Amino acid sequence: MNEMNKEIENNLSEISAEMLVNYLYPELADRWIVQAEGTFYRNYNCDVLSWDSDTAEIQLSRDSFIQLLPQGLLYRTEGRGGRDRKVNSEQLLSRKRLLLDMFQPFDTFAFRSRLKLERQLSSMLETRLADILSRYFGFDLASEENPYIREAAVLLPFVSHLRGDLYFVRDLLSSIFRCEVQLTIGRHGQTDNTRSWLPMVRYELIMPDLSTEEYNRLMDDVRPLCDFVSEWLIPMETKCFIEIKWKNAGLAATPVLDYNTCLK
């Protein structure tokens, strides 16, 4: 969850407010109070300017309902000049703020409606994806317990275009495990006979400082993922390996036969 929250923070500018709060605070869907600050702020901010989960208040860089009304219908923007200009400007801003507060219930109602719509659409898309995977690929997304396979399985509808792209698989593994992945392309054989060699691809997940328990637990998930990747994304004649390594450790810092040790 922490890694997912970091990913969200890095991509806030591309995430709508409805998707963000539905993910972070699904229990507050009927409690949010919206403060629409105007699309001017959207030029250099993300959709959500700020939020407070304790008071369920959220500031958006969107126009309020009042901005949809004809200009000058509720208040006039022009005023007197000279020494009265400052006073007139303050009065206009104060009146505009009062009108924004008056229309806040409309903005809040519209936002809550979009929240419900976003949740319904997400549910429909997830159900449709699960149905496509089950019907056309024989993959039951609901019963799959491996979290890494669940992430990779959403690409099955596009597998005809992705199969054999070894560099895409590298980027996919890097995204799933959120670590550096090194790719090695070579040949593999059980004997020294060159006639029996097969194409080989090895993906090394660079994960330092894993304990023995962490390494074993992670490898229990990596092995079935390797089988999944080999079946759907790697050419049939190519042998695929996914391993966990620590490339930056010195020999003195690594115990004998630790997971970073390579015997040849």
Q: Is residue 262 part of a domain?
A: no
Q: 182 has which bridge partners?
A: 204
In this predicted structure, the answer to whether residue 59 has a pLDDT above a threshold of 80 is yes
Same domain as 248, residue 189:
yes
| More confidently predicted of 125 and 17 | 17
Maximum mean pLDDT: which of 13-27, 78-92, 232-246: 232-246
In this predicted structure, the answer to whether residue 76 has a pLDDT above a threshold of 90 is no
Q: How many domains does the chain have?
A: 2
Same domain as 221, residue 107:
no
> Domain boundary at 63, 93, 125, which?
125
Per DSSP, 70 falls in state P
Same domain as 47, residue 8:
yes
Find the domain containing 179 and state its range.
Answer: 147-253
Q: What is the pLDDT of residues 139-151, one digit of tens each?
A: 998 899 999 999 9
Same domain as 110, residue 164:
no
Q: Is residue 260 part of a domain?
A: no
Q: Cα–Cα distance between 144 and 112 in angstroms, integer?
A: 33
- Give the pLDDT confidence score for residue 2 in this predicted structure: 47
Same domain as 171, residue 118:
no
Q: Is residue 133 part of a domain?
A: no
Q: Is residue 195 part of a domain?
A: yes
R_g over Cα of the chain: 27
- Give the pLDDT confidence score for residue 219 in this predicted structure: 93
* Mean pLDDT of all residues belonging to the chain: 81
Residue 7 and residue 34 in contact, taking contact as beta carbons nearer than 8 Å: no
Q: Is residue 224 part of a domain?
A: yes
Q: What is the pLDDT of residues 2-12, one digit of tens each?
A: 444 555 455 55
Same domain as 115, residue 195:
no
> Domain boundary at 91, 125, 159, which?
125
> Domain boundary at 125, 158, 187, which?
125
| Strand ordering across the sheet containing 48-52 | 33-36, 57-60, 48-52
Q: Is residue 158 part of a domain?
A: yes
Least confident of 105-119, 120-134, 172-186, 210-224: 120-134
Q: Three-state DSSP class for 253?
A: helix
Q: Is residue 141 part of a domain?
A: no
* β-strand pairing of 33-36 with 239-245: unpaired
For residues 166, 169, 173, 174, the Cα torsion angle rounded to the nearest 10 degrees is: 70
| Over residues 152-168, mean pLDDT | 92
Backbone angles phi, psi at 254, to 5 degrees: -115, 120
Same domain as 152, residue 116:
no
Same domain as 153, residue 247:
yes
| More confidently predicted of 172 and 124 | 172
Q: What is the pLDDT of residues 191-234, one digit of tens each?
A: 665 566 788 999 999 998 888 889 999 999 999 999 999 999 99
| Over residues 73-77, mean pLDDT | 58
Q: What percent of the chain has pLDDT over 90?
A: 33
In this predicted structure, the answer to whether residue 260 has a pLDDT above a threshold of 70 is no
Cα angle 69, 71, 73; round to 5: 70
Q: Is residue 206 part of a domain?
A: yes
Same domain as 113, residue 199:
no
- Give the pLDDT confidence score for residue 247 in this predicted structure: 65
In this predicted structure, the answer to whether residue 255 has a pLDDT above a threshold of 60 is no
Backbone angles phi, psi at 180, to 5 degrees: -70, 140
